[in-house]
Amino acid sequence: MKTTALLALALALVAPAAHAGPGHDHGEAPPAATAHALPRFAASSDLFELVGVLDGKTLTLYLDRAATNEPRPAATVELELGGRPLKPQAQADGSYTVALPAPLEAGVHAVAATVTDGDDVDLLAAELDVHGEAHDAPAAGATGQRWGAAAGAVLGLGLLLGLGVAGRKALARRRAAGFGGAA
């Protein structure tokens, strides 16, 4: 009876170590891949809001009136980026674009924009934070999970083997005691 209980306990301890292999993992789903966000800046005042999005060597600007969020496609925008004066060109969709002579280096770049819209003139300032290329990091814990499963399986098998040896010795003692009794 004790041997059966010990065997059941050993099997219960070994069962959690039986993990699914590659392609059969039923654990937590891996996090969804995220797209690389483009560098951007935002500058605002009482009159205007200016948002810039950098995509390679193209800087796209979106200019709105602050009070109404109304696009200002007819405004004149003069831009200074990292000390270099640039002249954005108005686009049909209401945005403005600037073709940079070269991609910006990683780091923080000062942005200053002078906006003239009719009688309204305003100076907007911001910073554009450009990061270097993102590197893909290996999934954390992927290798550690496999080693943990293997270690659990080895420990479980060792426990099962130890219980088997102890059970055989106990059975041998019981048989020896039963056969060596008084006649």
CA-based diameter of the chain, in Å? 123
Three state DSSP letters for 120-153: EEEEEEEEEEECCCCCCCCCCCHHHHHHHHHHHH
Question: Closest Cα to residue 82, out of 22, 136, 41, 133?
Answer: 41
Please say if the pLDDT value at position 171 is more than 50: yes
CA distance linking residue 98 with residue 114, whole number of Å: 15
Burial class (CB in 10 A: 0-12, 13-18, 19+), 65: middle
Q: Name the architecture of domain 40-130.
A: Sandwich (2.60)
Burial class (CB in 10 A: 0-12, 13-18, 19+), 30: exposed
Whether the Cβ atoms of residue 88 and residue 100 lie closer than 8 Å to each other = no
pLDDT, tens digit, for every residue of 11-48? Answer: 666 665 555 566 666 667 767 767 778 999 999 999 99
Terminal Cα-to-Cα distance of the chain (whole angstroms) = 27
pLDDT, tens digit, for every residue of 71-83? Answer: 999 999 999 998 9
Please say if the pLDDT value at position 166 is more than 70: yes
For residue 28, which phi and psi values (nearest 5 degrees)? Answer: -65, 140
